[in-house]
Structure 1
């Protein structure tokens, strides 16, 4: 990349090309230089705020209202620059948006339009002022991310296996629940291969509203014609993209354009009605530079993703190996997992080039017509190298069912370990962890996993990437450097992970994590439906129910109750507790037995009607 020469570099080149100047000549040159170099306006323009880094000032500005930003921008030249940054106004717009977005060539104009500011005042926004004497590496890097192109993007190569004509047996034996694979020709017969282009979708669904990638607490939608207009005009560092799990309801005909590939048709969520099951399929459309930052799919489900248009770059890490540049926070109260991660583009530009060979992810470039399989628990990050259109679905099958049940069980420790590996283990259980890890060595799937005392981490605003994991502010709670744990390997084995379940947890009265894809009652209903409708896999369902519902604990209680009262034990179809209330309910021959676990008899008796209604349904 070429950079313009500064006045200082011009002066230095000039003095090198001339004979050694005398003192008076040097003083004259320095005087000329002082006239060429603009005075740094930052200290005077920011006053006491000058001690704060630009990224922190920009973060503080996000909490102000548009009116406050307008007032503050008139205080000084530097405040004018900071208060007119496009990313700031993008945040302002998405924070206050009500209804569909109609992009107006810039985020500031779009925000003011949303606030019904008169057009004549909005037009003044196009007449920007320019100032010399202010330089910011933070703003420059952000500007670069907004305007860089990826047509010449290069990486170290593709090391995700690529397969053609993959049989179901080969997939289940070699890849399902084990490792990613890129599969060709699964979608060759789909109408979507020819009809899912920007032009065709614009013609057929121009006025259809689709959900946009969530960048705020509210629901954001855009008409497809407005989104296409946005894609053509935008220069955002992290562009919005369509990520719609309701596209089948918004445009039902799109569901006829593709079918679930034969490799992924086993899905245990199929026993639920469409309005009962959690989100599972998404239409994904995004421009160049957009993408999905590092994450693990919800509930540790597996996924397939088929690309219809454009090129995507994928990076993946095995379960338990947190990508460098990412920090995981685990709530000790309910097990909710939050992730601090740079945008996909920022990670590829700033973090990826710094990785040692042993830290590089598994990666590949996905082309139109190709389908990638992402196993349960795998970290992945996606960067759109050009405008892309794709469809993806998550599913639960026999290979990941127990992990899904474990992920939705109450408690925090096991969830953190499932997502972050040994980084989520606190010092109190270090000795037990050593023993468990040692006994699980023969079950390790990924021997290349290892822990480091320091991890590369990018803070929210991107400027100080090297952080010691022992810093409590950087790790927030359970995530520690684990300097007491001399363990070099992590086992993503269900028996090993289950050892981190809290012994005193109780599915019926424990706090339910908000990150779970379904609620407690829906979880109980789902497992009961599986038990009734899929008797051939009851051994597997029982294992999952023991992880999520303490089914073995309640079964022992039932045996004691039935023995004491001389009652018949539940039949095979009724071995799992039924009902969606706050207490486990069992059916025996001629009897309904309710075990009061929440606030005693007086409180629980009011919920009896719920269980009775549930039993009538079944």
Structure 2
């Protein structure tokens, strides 16, 4: 009986460690409001590639669960490991506004230890430096080689990766481009999406956090977006030309697979 109780305690401890595992990135200053989730969620066992193409690829977003096993990639993306491997490498940061992007080159160590901070609501997009994309694929290739992209491709497209790390309260305002996937490795990322024929109202230099607190509560029901917060183990697919904005609720590590 004592042996059984010890096993139960050990199992609960392992589950707790998994739940609390942030890869060293922490949850200080995290945002609590995950909002609702009105995007369809499909498990890997409940959808085939053919069904994905027919039901979602060209028509609407979907969240896929269990389609990839990126356990090794996740371990490699821990804070300690990335600092050990890339601290002296130069990364390119971009401002998080819609139409104009200022680029700043810094050492990865400086970005993580100095610039990776929570964002306040009144910070403008042009004053927010965001690490996403502009990755040096030669220097980061050994990391990207370990990433397993979602298996459902689109005809006549090939994948391209964009890797990022961002603090709580940061994100990119509404914009659109080609289709792709977004996967969170650590943290939580809240998504807001509109179809191509429904242009959202937003200020191009205001952050998503500002839009969420000032404009979102005033939206009438028919003007509200599709939205959901994704966590590690979930992948969001967005079709071509869909408007979308993102908000990192925690310090988040994430990767997108663009299909072009």
Q: TM-score, normalised by structure 2?
A: 0.78
Q: Where in structure 1 are there 5+ consecutive unaligned residues?
A: 1-148, 271-279, 327-339, 397-618
**Deviation of 1:325 (Å):** 2.6
Root mean square deviation of aligned Cα? 2.3
1:111-159 residue CA offsets vs partner (Å, 9 max, x unmatched): xxxxxxxxxxxxxxxxxxxxxxxxxxxxxxxxxxxxxx5532252x100
Give the ranges of 4+ consecutive aligned residues of structure 1 lying more than 6 Å apart after TM superposition. Answer: none
Q: Is the 8 A contact 1:247 1:283 kept in 2?
A: no
CA distance, structure 1, for counterparts of residue 195 and residue 101 of structure 2: 30
Question: Does the 8 Å contact 2:183/2:236 carry over to 1?
Answer: yes
Determine the structure 2 residue equivalent to 1:221. Answer: 105
* Contact 1:246 1:282 (8 Å CA) reproduced: yes
**CA shift for structure 1 position 348:** 0.7
Superimposed CA distance per residue, residues 425-484 of structure 1 (whole angstroms, 9 cap, x where no aligned partner) = xxxxxxxxxxxxxxxxxxxxxxxxxxxxxxxxxxxxxxxxxxxxxxxxxxxxxxxxxxxx
The structure showing larger relative contact order (alpha-carbon pairs under 8 Å, at least 6 residues apart) is: 2
The 1-side partners of 2:174 and 2:30 are apart by 19
Matched, 1:255 2:135: no
Deviation at 1:201, TM superposition (A): 1.0
Shift of 1:200: 1.9
CA contact (8 A) 2:182 2:257 kept: yes
Equivalent residues of 1:248, 1:254 under 8 A apart: no
Change (3 A) 1:233 1:389: closer
1:573-592 aligned within 5 A: none
CA-CA distance at 1:228 after TM superposition: 0.9
Inter-partner Cα distance in structure 2 for 1:193 and 1:266: 29
Contact 1:187 1:193 in 2 (8 A): no
Aligned to 2:179, which of 302, 320, 337? 302
Aligned to 1:192, the other structure's residue is in SS state: helix
Structure 1 residues 210 and 375, CA gap change in structure 2 (3 angstroms): same
Q: Structure 1's 213 and 231: CA in aligned 2 closer, same or farther, altered over 3 A? A: same
1:254, CA displacement in angstroms?
1.3
Inter-CA distance 217–312: structure 2 relative to 1 (3 Å threshold): closer
Q: Which residue does the alignment assign to 2:132? A: 243
- Secondary structure at the residue paired with 2:32? coil
In structure 1, the partner of 2:17 is none
Unpaired runs of 5+ residues, structure 2, are 1-28
Distance in 2 (alpha carbons) for counterparts of 1:233 and 1:171: 37
Contact 2:187 2:231 in 1 (8 A): yes
> What is the match of residue 202 of structure 2?
325
Aligned equivalents of 2:248, 2:117: Cα separation in 1: 17
Partners of 2:162 and 2:103 in 1: CA distance? 15
- List aligned pairs for 1:230-379, cutoff 5 A: 230-231=114-115, 237=123, 238=125, 239-264=128-153, 266-268=155-157, 280-297=160-177, 301-325=178-202, 340=204, 342-379=206-243
In structure 2, what is the equivalent of residue 169 of structure 1?
50
Q: Secondary structure at the match of 2:199?
A: coil
SS at match of 2:57: coil
Cα pair 1:247 1:282 within 8 Å, conserved: no
Q: Distance in 1 between matches of 2:156 and 2:43?
A: 23
Shift, 1:384, TM fit:
0.3
In the alignment, what sits opposite 2:12?
Answer: none
CA contact (8 A) 1:302 1:395 kept: yes
CA distance in 1, matches of 2:187, 2:201: 27
Task: For residue 322 of structure 1, give the secondary structure of its aligned residue in structure 2.
Answer: coil
| CA displacement 1:288-330 (0-9 Å, x = unmatched) | 0110110011xxx21111110100000001111111235xxxx
Quote how far apart the aligned CAs of 1:185 are.
1.4
Structure having the larger proportion of residues in helix = 1
- 2:65 pairs with 1:188: no
Counterpart of 2:252 in structure 1 is: 388
**CA-CA distance at 1:269 after TM superposition:** 5.3
Tell me: CA distance 1:344–1:234, structure 2 relative to 1, closer, same or farther (3 Å): closer
**1-structure distance, mates of 2:53, 2:152:** 8
- CA gap of 1:323–1:385, structure 2 versus 1, over 3 A, is same
Evaluate the alpha carbon distance shift between residue 341 and residue 180 of structure 1 in structure 2; reply closer, same or farther with a 3 A threshold: farther
> What SS does structure 1 have at the residue aligned with 2:64?
strand
C-alpha distance in structure 1 between counterparts of 2:154 and 2:72, whole Å: 19
Matches within 5 A, 1:133-148: none
Q: Distance in 2 between matches of 1:233 and 1:325?
A: 24
Q: 2: CA distance between counterparts of 1:369 and 1:201?
A: 20
Query: How much does 1:224 deviate?
Result: 1.4
- The Cα shift of 1:210 comes to 1.5
The 5-angstrom pairing of residues 425-574 of structure 1 reads: none
* TM-score, length-scaled by structure 1: 0.34
Distance 1:199 1:177, change over 3 A: same
